[in-house]
């Protein structure tokens, strides 16, 4: 086999890898792990399913004629999903409108998440934010920070119906206890290197606009910004990332 022949075979394998990665290694229907982990051997337990069937029976064509198609090409990655064998069998036999619609919405959510992950790489955050992250991570609960008055908290004005009540409460609490402290830490960074805070604020604002443009609602945006900080900055602490996103809501980079 010439090297170009072996290259031609690769896309199928690569698409399998991409689809396995897309579902995070678990069946998106039943959460069963899609790779068995033997001592020295891993066995693939997934199958690649066509969401719209690749050679539909006449009754399936009629059944799905008014349904949304994720791609004109049935073999496109957009029309494929990794499933465990059992869920694949149930999905295909018999095909139902409900089953089809459910699989379309599962795939769309997976695509939305993959797109977000790819956007982390394109949107960096200056390393100086790590100074603030490591200070916040040291918080013991004993420190007395200057609290922000309830009247000064802006989230109620900025929130729309898509921001969940519980999340709004969390943002308020974070802003109340941590806003002034973080603001003064940014001021310290600016003393060492002027415009550090402006640079980070601009990066957050730019990513916020991208998420807005992609159609995310406010609850989804909070979660996407938190994941971005967790993964793009050196922040392994979810609570710290949430405190920072809350800070950026109050500081007008987010939801503005």
In the complex, the residues that contact Zn ion under the rule CB under 5 A are 27, 29-30, 32, 84, 87
Between 110 and 214, whose beta carbon lies closer to Zn ion?
A: 110
Between 33 and 194, whose beta carbon lies closer to Zn ion?
A: 33
Structure tokens at 244: 């920072």
**Minimal distance in Å, beta carbon 126 to Zn ion?**
42
**Minimal distance in Å, beta carbon 88 to Zn ion?**
8
With a CB cutoff of 8 Å and minimum separation 6, the contacts of 74 are 50, 52, 53, 54
**Minimal distance in Å, beta carbon 104 to Zn ion?**
17
Between 27 and 129, whose beta carbon lies closer to Zn ion?
A: 27
**Minimal distance in Å, beta carbon 28 to Zn ion?**
8
Between 29 and 226, whose beta carbon lies closer to Zn ion?
A: 29
């Amino acid at each position: 086999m010439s090297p170009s022949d072996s290259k031609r075979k690769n896309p199928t394998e690569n698409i399998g890898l991409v689809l396995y990665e897309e579902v995070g290694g678990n069946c998106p229907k039943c959460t069963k792990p899609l790779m068995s982990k033997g001592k020295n051997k891993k066995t693939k337990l997934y199958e690649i399913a066509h969401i719209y069937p690749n050679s539909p029976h006449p009754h399936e064509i009629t059944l799905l004629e008014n349904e949304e198609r994720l791609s004109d090409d049935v073999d496109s990655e957009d029309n494929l999903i990794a499933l465990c064998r059992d869920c694949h069998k149930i999905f295909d036999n018999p095909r139902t409108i409900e089953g089809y619609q459910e699989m379309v919405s599962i795939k769309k959510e997976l695509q939305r998440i993959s797109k977000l992950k790819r956007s982390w790489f394109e949107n960096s955050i200056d390393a100086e934010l790590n100074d603030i992250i490591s200070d916040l991570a040291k918080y013991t609960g004993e420190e007395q920070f200057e609290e922000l008055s309830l009247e000064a908290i802006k989230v109620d004005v900025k929130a729309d119906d898509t921001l969940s009540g519980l999340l709004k409460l969390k943002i308020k609490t974070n802003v109340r206890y941590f806003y002034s402290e973080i603001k003064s830490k940014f001021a310290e960074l600016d003393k060492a290197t002027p415009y550090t805070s402006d640079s980070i604020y601009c990066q957050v604002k730019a990513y916020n606009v991208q998420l807005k443009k992609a159609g995310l609602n406010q609850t989804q945006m909070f979660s996407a910004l938190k994941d971005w900080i967790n993964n793009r900055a050196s922040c392994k602490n979810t609570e710290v990332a949430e405190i920072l996103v809350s800070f950026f809501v109050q500081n007008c980079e987010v939801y503005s």
